[in-house]
């Protein structure tokens, strides 16, 4: 994939993330809620059934698996993405967005061309495909290998004002073994957990976590087995 197209696609992803954050912030302010991420927004959607929103001069129209956001200056169309990601790359929604915004890269108005490039990028290891959308792989040069402690007896999981404590067990140990790399800019992410490892009541190691900046095999353990069950036990 040419660098120019990577820039265009990453700008599209950032634009979607920006308008989604604006919408969540507006809902929180107007309805006195505390939605923090896509999962919270989906839970809110399932209750209110609302399909149209207005926030900071932007109109939102939910549709099927996604949403359109627009005003006199901008138009964005997307499908909601895998796990906590607000969106992935749907070639036709990207091409339509570029065309509606009169983007100068007219060669990318062709959804079939974008799909062919994304498919080739999957083969090259630049992207991966999940549920008909494409996502950028994390380059190895942008990762680091965490140094989890060999000795600990408790894991504390912090998420905003929530705290969960679980004793060391085989599932946590399996998560550690699968966490072979972490995105080195994870601290800049707004939506993340903090994992704190304790020994005899004393913190010996702390590291951020989310389901974008870790290997998928580690995410399946932490998000799907540990955090999901913790949330259920807390009645959330």
* Tens-place pLDDT, residues 72-131: 999 999 999 999 999 999 999 999 999 999 999 999 999 999 999 999 999 999 999 999
* DSSP for 118-161, written as a single string: HHHHHHTTSEEEETTEEEEPPPGGGEE-----S--SEEEEEETT
Give residue 199's pLDDT band: very low, low, confident or very high (50, 70, 90): very high
pLDDT digits (tens, 9 = 90+) for 139-169: 999 999 999 999 999 999 999 989 999 999 9
User: Tokens 């120019």 appear where?
Assistant: 4
Q: What's the pTM value of the predicted model, to 2 decimals? A: 0.92
Q: What is the side-by-side strand order in the sheet with 193-199?
A: 162-167, 154-159, 193-199, 202-209
Domain ranges of the chain: 3-137, 141-233
């Amino acid at each position: 994939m040419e660098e120019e197209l990577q820039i265009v696609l990453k700008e599209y992803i950032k634009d979607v993330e920006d308008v989604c954050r604006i919408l969540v912030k507006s809902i929180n302010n107007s309805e006195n809620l505390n939605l923090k991420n896509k999962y919270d927004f989906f839970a809110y959607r399932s209750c209110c059934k609302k399909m149209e929103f207005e926030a900071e001069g932007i109109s939102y129209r939910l549709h099927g698996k996604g949403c359109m956001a627009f005003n006199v200056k901008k138009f964005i169309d997307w499908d909601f993405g895998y796990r906590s990601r607000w969106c992935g790359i749907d070639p036709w929604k990207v091409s339509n967005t570029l065309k509606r915004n009169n983007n100068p890269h007219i060669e990318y108005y062709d959804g079939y061309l974008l799909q062919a490039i994304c498919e080739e990028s999957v083969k090259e290891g630049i992207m991966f495909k999940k549920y008909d959308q494409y996502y950028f792989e994390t380059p190895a040069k942008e990762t680091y290998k965490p140094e989890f402690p060999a000795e600990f007896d408790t894991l504390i999981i912090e998420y905003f004002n929530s705290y969960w404590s679980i004793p060391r067990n085989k599932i946590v140990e399996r998560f550690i073994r699968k966490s072979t790399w972490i995105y080195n800019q994870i601290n800049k992410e707004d939506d993340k957990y903090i994992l704190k490892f304790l020994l005899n009541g004393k913190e010996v190691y702390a590291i951020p976590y989310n389901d974008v900046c870790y290997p998928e095999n580690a995410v399946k353990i932490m998000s799907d087995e540990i955090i999901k069950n913790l949330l259920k036990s807390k009645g959330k």
